[in-house]
A and B are shown apart, each in its own frame.
Chain A
Amino acid sequence: MLRITGGTVYDPANGVDGVVQDVCIAGGRIVGGRDLDAGARTIDAAGMIVMPGGVDVHTHVAGGALNFARGLVPENQRAARKFLHGLDRRAGLGGMTPTTFATGYLYAGMGWTTVNEAAVPILSARHTHEELHDIPIVDKTSLVLMANNEFVLDLLEAGEVERARHVVAWLVWAAKAYGVKAVNPGGVEAWKWGKNANTLHAPIEGYRTVTPAMIIANLAAIADDLQLPHPMHLHCNNLGVPGNFETTIETMNVLQGHRAHLAHLQFHAYGGEDWSSMRSEAPRVAEAFKANRNLTADAGAVLFGDAVTITADGPWQHLLYQLTGRKWGNLDVENETGCGIVPYVYKDRNLVNAVQWAVGLELLLLIDDPWRIFLTTDHPNGGCFWRYPEIIHMLMNAEFRREQVRRLPEKAQQRMVLADLDREYTLSEIAVITAAGPARSLGLTRKGQLGIGADADVTIYPVKPDHGFLFSYPRYVIKGGAIVVEEGDVREVVDGRELIVRPAYDVAIEDYIRPLFEKFYTMSFANYPVEIERLRNPEVVTPQP
Chain B
Amino acid sequence: MLTLTLKEAPSVPLEAEVLSPDTMAPLTIDGIRALPVLLGKRQRRLDDFFDVDGEPGEDVEVRGDVHRVKWIGRGMTRGVLRIRGSAGMHLGSAMAGGTIEVWGDAGDWLGAEMSGGTIRVHGDAGGQVGAAYRGGPSGMRDGLIVVDGSAGLEVGMRMKRGTIVIGGPVRDFAGLQMKGGTIVLRRGAELRTGAWMNRGTILSLEPLDLLPTFAYAAAYNPTFLRLYARRLAALGCPLPFEEAEGSYRRYTGDAAVPGRGEILVWEPRAETGPRARA
A residues near B (Cβ < 8 Å) are 72-76, 78, 326
Contacts and interface: CB of A to CB of B under 8 A. Distances in A.
Interface in B120-168: 133-137
A294 to B, nearest CB: 44
Interface in B81-113: none
Contacts of B135: 72-76
Nearest to B198: A325
Nearest to B257: A325
B214 to A, nearest CB: 21
Contacts of A326: 137
Contacts of A74: 133-136
Given A75-B133, A75-B136, 13 more contacts: A72-B135, A73-B135, A74-B133, A74-B134, A74-B135, A74-B136, A75-B134, A75-B135, A75-B137, A76-B135, A78-B133, A78-B136, A326-B137
A76 B135 CA distance: 8
A74 B132 CA distance: 12
B13 to A, nearest CB: 18
Contacts of A75: 133-137
B136 to A, nearest CB: 4
15 contacts: A72-B135, A73-B135, A74-B133, A74-B134, A74-B135, A74-B136, A75-B133, A75-B134, A75-B135, A75-B136, A75-B137, A76-B135, A78-B133, A78-B136, A326-B137
A298 to B, nearest CB: 30
Nearest to A72: B135
A466 B133 CA distance: 37
B100 to A, nearest CB: 22
Contacts of A72: 135
A171 B41 CA distance: 46
Contacts, number: 15
A73 B135 CA distance: 6
Contacts of B133: 74-75, 78
Output the residue of A75, A76, A78, A326 with the most chain B CB within 10 A: A75
A329 to B, nearest CB: 12
B157 to A, nearest CB: 14
Contacts of B136: 74-75, 78
B27 to A, nearest CB: 25
A380 B72 CA distance: 35
A308 B157 CA distance: 24
CB-CB nearest 10 A-B residue pairs:
A74-B135, A75-B135, A75-B136, A74-B134, A73-B135, A75-B133, A75-B137, A78-B133, A326-B137, A72-B135
A326 B133 CA distance: 15
B112 to A, nearest CB: 12
Contacts of A73: 135
B116 to A, nearest CB: 20
Nearest to B132: A75
A74 B136 CA distance: 8
Contacts of A76: 135
A413 B3 CA distance: 59
A78 B136 CA distance: 10
A76 B136 CA distance: 8
A314 to B, nearest CB: 22
A73 B136 CA distance: 8
B132 to A, nearest CB: 8
Interface string B186-197: 000000000000
Task: Determine which residue in B133, B135, B137 has the highest number of CB atoms from chain A within 10 A of its CB, and name it.
Answer: B135
Nearest to B134: A74
A76 B137 CA distance: 11
A76 B133 CA distance: 11
A73 B134 CA distance: 9
B199 to A, nearest CB: 14
A74 B137 CA distance: 11
A406 to B, nearest CB: 30
A75 B113 CA distance: 12
B93 to A, nearest CB: 12
Contacts of B134: 74-75
Contacts of B137: 75, 326
A536 to B, nearest CB: 30
A269 B135 CA distance: 33
Nearest to B136: A75
A326 B137 CA distance: 8
Contacts of A78: 133, 136
A463 B157 CA distance: 50
A236 B123 CA distance: 60
A67 to B, nearest CB: 15
A169 B136 CA distance: 44
